[in-house]
Structure 1
Amino acid sequence: MIADGESQYDKWRHPDPYIVPWAPGGSKFTRNPTPPPGIEIAYDYGREDH
């Protein structure tokens, strides 16, 4: 039954399957890689410490 199901899947699957952009193989996968070590990101959005 499994072999029959796999053959049916191979027969009817889409030739160009949809891949979500952030998944491996997607158009945006690793577009913004993590910064290298030693680089810090400030999330204060322009506010200064008092």
Structure 2
Amino acid sequence: MLDTSRGQPPAPTQEPRGCLFALSQPPLMIFLAVIGVLLLMAAVHDLFVL
């Protein structure tokens, strides 16, 4: 027979992760660093080459 008693649901084992956890991931940090370097190179080019 199936147990149909209503017990308490199991407590979540991990807390929900927010924005700071997402920003700490290496692939995202590498992507943001590449974008930052490209912007920096464009700014230096505009200031000193043009």
TM-score tier, shorter chain, comes to 0.3 to 0.5
Q: TM-score if structure 1 supplies the norm length? A: 0.32
- Bigger RCO (CA 8 Å, 6+ sep): 1
Q: TM-score if structure 2 supplies the norm length? A: 0.32
